[in-house]
Amino acid sequence: MSDRAFPVALVDLPEPPLPAGDWVRVEVATGGICGSDLHIFTHDTGASPTLTSMGTVPFVLGHEIGGTVVEIGPDSPIALGSRVAVDPCIPCGPRRVEPCANCAKGWSSSCLNLDNRIVSSGRTLGFTQNLGGGWCEQVLAHSSMIHLLPDQITDRGSSLCEPMSIACHGILRAPPERGDPVLVVGAGIIGLATVAALKGLHPESETTVLARHPHQAAAALACGATRVVESAPGRATFEKLGEIVGARVVGRSDEVMLMGGFPYVVEAVGTPRTVTDALRAVGHRGTVLLLGVAGVSEVDLTPVWYKEAALVGSIDHSVDSGSAPGLGGGAGLHSMERAIRLLAAGMLPEDVVVTHEFPLESYTEAIDTAIDRKDSHAIKVVFRP
């Protein structure tokens, strides 16, 4: 990873052994390219130096993983040949350490031992070097990280379980009030997964999506958005949002915000502009859920205190004790299981969101395609090892 301009290479690695008897080997059918992966190549301000300082290089990329189990340890309950999606997080259980305070509560997404480097040098698959990954022919996973796929989810769509789970867990962290209108800022894969998850978990809430490109706007409508507003500079975007929710636009030039905005806003991109837009669009005492991987950046925090808004963070996947009125909304379900239910029901149609497929050998073209969303019309770009 010495070339900063393009810091990855396709290499042959020795086949790793199963770390213990309750691990399995998965032959990767589909490995998605995530927006967080692209920070490595774009070097933008969305990257998190905090997370970067906790990791080790080199590592094998790819944390959106679907495939088939081709080897099982003697203590694994998973059947050989099972089609599965993989939760990439490696909390206390797979590391065989005493459960930390958070894992003991069932908060695996908040595990305090993700950085202890026992079993794995990284916190998750896709950011470690000795377990394979989604951008690889195979990956190793603990049995607790494995989630069985129904026939309704194809190999092509299997890697969508991970981003859908991100959305489900985030929404259950701080759900909207029943029937409240929701604004989703961003129509990349996390934004679209959020739209689909809201349609499945909270079907009574109308969802407005703020999209950057026309092809993203069309995809948002196909995924169940009530309406889409295409973002534009100046007041025009906020005037449109204000009309939808009955809010008033205040401020001058481009520095405007809504008075009486959306009670629930999901930020699904992670750039300084989109975080600021989300905060400026939220209503008084409303909630802004951060699903985009925002790092060190300059944003306008005025709405947090001026509107007494709640800023809620979410990461990864977990068992969520809360419930929601829609499909997959039962209490005590793992977010990956919620995601699988919603995907099986067609809430995030693969023919809409999986726009490009590449073999591993075409990794430079795949990454360039994922970065250049405007001209390539890419939404979700996947590898098919």
Element housing 355 (H / E): strand 354-358
Is a pLDDT exceeding 90 seen at residue 233?
no
CA distances 7 to 39, 89, 241, Å, are 11, 23, 40
> Which pLDDT belongs to residue 1?
34
> Which pLDDT belongs to residue 43?
62
> Which pLDDT belongs to residue 353?
97
- What confidence tens digit (pLDDT) does each residue in 126-140 have? 999 899 999 999 999
Find the largest Cα–Cα distance for the chain: 66
Averaged pLDDT score across all residues of the chain:
93
**For the chain, percent of residues with pLDDT exceeding 90:** 83
- Token pair in block for residue 257: 């915000």
> Which pLDDT belongs to residue 29?
98
> Which pLDDT belongs to residue 2?
36
Structure-model confidence comparison of residues 6 and 60, the more confident one: 60
> Which pLDDT belongs to residue 3?
45
In the chain, the N- to C-terminal Cα span, in Å, equals: 21
- What confidence tens digit (pLDDT) does each residue in 174-185 have? 999 999 999 999
> Which pLDDT belongs to residue 38?
85
Query: Do 59 and 127 contact (CB within 8 A), yes or no?
Result: yes
pLDDT band at 44 (very low <50, low <70, confident <90, very high): low
- What confidence tens digit (pLDDT) does each residue in 294-311 have? 888 889 999 999 999 999
> Which pLDDT belongs to residue 288?
98
Neighbours of 98 (CB within 10 A): 9
Cα(30)–Cα(159) distance, rounded to whole angstroms?
6
Contacts with 156 (C-beta within 8 Å, 6 or more apart), sequence order = 30, 350, 354, 357, 382, 384
With CA atoms as reference, report the closest residue to 207 among 241, 247, 170.
Answer: 241
Q: What is the mean pLDDT of residues 341-356?
A: 97
Contacts with 101 (C-beta within 8 Å, 6 or more apart), sequence order = 112
Q: Which domains does the chain have, with CATH numbers?
A: 23-161+348-383 (3.90.180.10), 172-315 (3.40.50.720)
Q: Give SS3 for 353.
A: helix
Is a pLDDT exceeding 80 seen at residue 54?
no
Write the DSSP string, 90-143: --HHHHT----HHHHTT-GGG-TTTTS-SS-SSSBTTSBSSSB-SSSSEEEEEG
Cα(94)–Cα(80) distance, rounded to whole angstroms?
19
Cα(277)–Cα(279) distance, rounded to whole angstroms?
5
- What confidence tens digit (pLDDT) does each residue in 353-371 have? 999 999 999 999 999 999 9
Q: Which residue has the tokens 């030039």?
A: 253
Q: Pairing mode, if any, of strands 182-185 and 262-267?
A: parallel
- Token pair in block for residue 136: 């690889």
Structure-model confidence comparison of residues 314 and 129, the more confident one: 314
With CA atoms as reference, report the closest residue to 123 among 89, 98, 94, 99.
Answer: 89
